[in-house]
Amino acid sequence: MKIAIGADHGAYDRKGEVIEHLKSQGHEVKDFGTFDPSASDYPEIGRSVAKAVVSGEFDRGIVMCTTGIGISIVANKVKGVRCALCSDVTSARLTRLHNDANILSMGAGIIGPNLTMDIVDTFMNTEFSGEERHVRRISKIEME
């Protein structure tokens, strides 16, 4: 799978860990920044990942900041994005099953590295259920 990933300085180190984890599983990963731990602004990074995913160039995206909140808000402003902020495995599984989320957001200051990788694995390995009720609801989200 082709994955777009980006994080601000608050998740710089964790992003590197996630990239290595994804690559070890055979995924193709493109890093959209930040490229060093100095202070950076998450809006540009989150928007870049979101646009790359909705363009169809990437299958899914992952965005991170200290809380995951700001960067998820930015990503969700891009039409066609369904970015879910997850801090547990159940939410990661259900957002794929029910919402067909195409971008995962996490807070590096909120969850530790082991849980991060479990959430990433769940998000990557769970397919959308395709159930009619979920398809209907997603179409209502995307009206505009």
CA 16 remoteness from chain centre: 14
The residue to which tokens 């169809």 are assigned: 56
- Torsion over CA: 26, 32, 34, 40 (sign): negative
The residue to which tokens 């995206």 are assigned: 61
Residues that are catalytic: 65, 98
